Structure 1
Amino acid sequence: MQDLKKITGIAILFIVVLRLCIGWQLLYEGLWKIDSLSSTRPWTAAGYLNNAKGPFRDHFRNMTGDPNDLNWLDADKVKAKWAAWEQRFLNHYPNLTDGQKSKLHQMVHGNKYFAAKLSALPPSVKFDGSLGSIVSYDPKRKLLLIDGEQHLTPKEKQRLQKMVPVKKGPNGKLEGGTALDREYYDAVEKAYARSARLSYIEKMQASLRGNPELAGQINIKQEGTIDGKRIGKIEQYKNAIDRYEQKLAQADQQFKVDHLNKIWAEIQQMKSELVNPIRALEDEMETEANKLLTPEQLAAGPIPHEDTEIHRVNMMTIAALTILGGLLLIGFGTRIAAIAAAGMLLSFYLVMPPWPGVPEAPGPEHSFIVNKNLIEVMALLTIAALPTGTWFGIDGLVYRFFHKKKKSTK
């Protein structure tokens, strides 16, 4: 091996500058990602990992925990997720008042019942049949109650109001019947208006389960026939994923790969149309919950993120970028830091390797075998092979300190 003393000063300068540049790039990436954590849209590696290609595709995609965002389309899982978020919210802000807690619970889960004041029930009013399970009257509290889970439909409201001889006049005033009848008519109106407010979980369930376009529809009269079931968009999306995975395993020619790329783009469009509205509901819920807080409570900062697989990947990536970038920049533990950084960047490279037979990664870059990540890996290994830290960095100070100590003991 060539004597290191024969390396020219200009070569040493450029190698050190190369180390500093890579260190700064990694450090800045880490700091930027840390800063994004306090924003409404924190950085996540999910998008990059979900689009993994090549032989390690399944490994990297599975690191997200939910590579196709199917959990967002499962009403039970979303409900559990939001219930867990509510608990984290309560734990993070322990000084919430009872009123704030009640409003938060109603906002997320909904009311147990919807009520309107009513001094007494008119003699002609009887809650029988299906109405009996939805509407009731509490004589002690003098309240007309509507079940919070079932709500009240427009037809049911009309049935309730037709039980008394009251109508709305042209000017909006109630006409006919007794004063109690009019009070009852108005109470039904108020209770109905309150029952029309859906909680966020109910809105989500209405979208994922109650919307025939998404959830599908079964025609009981034609059940068992080809027209008996209408497949919803959620099932179409799942079927499209299954077909894509099957065809991907058989894609042995470029034209098949090109065709699959088009299919994948369509699948991503389908996913956006299905998942984004549920994500938007979650964002809206969190924003509305924050509005319940006082300035003093808001000073406690945002609630901690859910401890999911992708969150751990995000945190490890941010920590690695920041720490390794900082070490390379100050030249401390340079060789170990360079090897570790090379390993990290190699993993980035393997997510979308520009190899023959692997679909090209999206973006303006066009590479074959070698891309920017691999070049940085090679540069870092070169840095690890040379004592750049002793040339310029804390490693040099440590080396000189112990070298002098050894000389003084001789």
Structure 2
Amino acid sequence: MKLLGKYINKDNSGSIKVLLEEEEDMWQFYNLIRVKDLVKASTVRKVITESETRSNSSQKINMNLTIAVEVITFDPTTCTLHLKGKNTEKNEHVKLGQYHTLDIELGKTFTLSKEQWDSVDFHRLKECQDTVAKKADVAAIIMHEGLAHVCLMTENLIITKAKIELSIPGKRKGYSSQHDKALERFYKHISNAFIKNIDLDVVKCIIIASPGFYKDCFFTYLQNFMETSGRKLTPDDKNKFLLVHSTNGFKHSLKEVLSDPNIQKKFGATKSQGELSQVLRFQQLLDVCPEKAFYGPKDVIRANNLQAIETLLISDSLFRSQNLEERAKYVKLVESVKKQKQNVYICSSQQLSGEQLNLYSGVAAILKYPMPELENDACHSSDGSS
């Protein structure tokens, strides 16, 4: 993200002008933009005019519009934000109060204005100013014969950096050489995408996943390819690779791979999977020591009031609430836990960590010490309400 202008007042009202450059930026702004915010951007609108002969004609006109946002949607396939709302500024072609949808795409400049920027908003802005290449410390290559995806994983998204598709003829009698040559070309394309998109100085873990032996054959090819390209893998580099089974080479199969507890143990120290390791820790405590693990806003807020929280887990979906009081409650909770110098993990609903956390209402806490009295109070409360 490029921050082109920042105009924040002492009361935390104000606006920013930005240019979004990466998929991660788009996801962050999906979480930043809320109902009633003002967004100004260039757009195209179909305008109908009536001639002197009373015949109608239409034409598409480029213009700048400012809308008060009412509906926010994010299309991950096209990496586009769709913002629907009413026009708030006089315009030759669009009346005040008329509805329009602004499409925010990568490379497009726009201005976002808020009546109140809070601490979670400022944290997201700060995160946006780091590139994906600096933040993504897990990479993955998932493949089957003729199809591969080269991905980087941040705390919020799994980002496809390259998709390789190549028709590979069957290994029939008398045609095995054609099959082998096509497979070698396939591996070469993946290796080039690997070199172009994966920084071995930043990435701590590289998953190669496939059905059968493709992962093993490709890893052998990659090592030779890197050496002949003058980028020989060091022993430390080789230790970063995990070769694992996947059902196929489609991107969605990565979640199946990442849900394997054995895999999670191996990359639990990485930033992009730190949230997942904490969610798993919470789930384990819920089984073995439930007096130290609580979920749901009521119990978590009570634990925080007693300054008993060691780790707060909260889903980013809670900050997208259109209920401003509800959102403010969670912002206050995050600020309070941070003020006590304890851990806060905001889990992306696009990642496995967020999906798992949402099964527990989207907010959970690991306590510093067991609090059976809190659990008993929770039980009495639920008994009384039934």
Greater per-residue helix proportion: 1
The structure with the largest alpha-carbon Rg is: 1
Greater per-residue strand proportion: 2
Q: TM-score, normalised by structure 2?
A: 0.23
Question: Looking at both structures, which has the greater relative contact order when contacts are Cα pairs under 8 Å and sequence separation is at least 6?
Answer: 1
